[in-house]
Amino acid sequence: MDFLTGMAYWGILALVIVNAILVARMKVTIEDSDDDDSPDAQNRECTNPSKRMCP
């Protein structure tokens, strides 16, 4: 197997290792705001099925 063909295989492994290192050092936040009193929320109510807003 030549170098460029082999590179695909060890390249994938290198990618996942580098990604793992990067993410491990990263601060991940996904906090959500559940209390939605903003005016634009009114516009969504009737087509948002997660809310019991529609008659």
Partner 1 sequence: MRYLAENWLILTMILCYLLVCLSIGWYFKLRANRGVSDFYLARREIPGWVISLAFFSTFASTNTFIGQAGNAFSAGLSWAWVGVFWTIFCIISWLVLGPRLRRQTATLQSVTIPDYLDFRYQSSLSKALRILSAFVILSATIWYMAGIAKGCAHLLSSVLEIPHFWGAFLILAVTAVYTIWGGMYSVLWTDAIQGMLMFGVAILMVLLPFIYVGGVDQLMANISDTTHVTRDGVPMGNGLVTFCSLVSFTYILGIGLAVGMKQVAEPRCLIRFYSVDNAKGMKFAMIWTPVFLGISLVCVMGLGALVHGMTTEAEAAYLIHHTDEVVGFMLAKFGNPWISGICLAGLVAAGMSSLASVMLIVGTALISDIWHVWRPMEEEQLVRRTQVAILGYSVLVFLVTIFPPAGIVELTAFSGAIFAASFFPSIYGGLYLRWGTGQAAFWSMLVGMLGTLAWRFLFRFNIAGLKDVHEIIPASIAAGLTYYVISRATSDKVPPAQHLDRLFPRDKSSASD
Q: How far is CA 53 from CA 9, 15, 17, 32, in A?
A: 53, 46, 47, 21
In sequence order, what are the residues at sequence separation of 6 or more whose Cβ sits closer than 8 angstroms to the Cβ of residue 45?
51, 53, 54
Minimum CB–partner distance for residue 14 and partner 1 (Å)? 10
- Using CB under 8 A as the binding rule, whether residue 23 contacts partner 1 is answered as yes
Q: How many chain residues are in contact with partner 1, going by CB under 8 A?
A: 40
Residues that bind partner 1 (CB under 8 A): 1-5, 8-9, 11-13, 15-16, 19-20, 22-24, 26, 28-34, 36, 38-40, 43-44, 46-52, 54-55
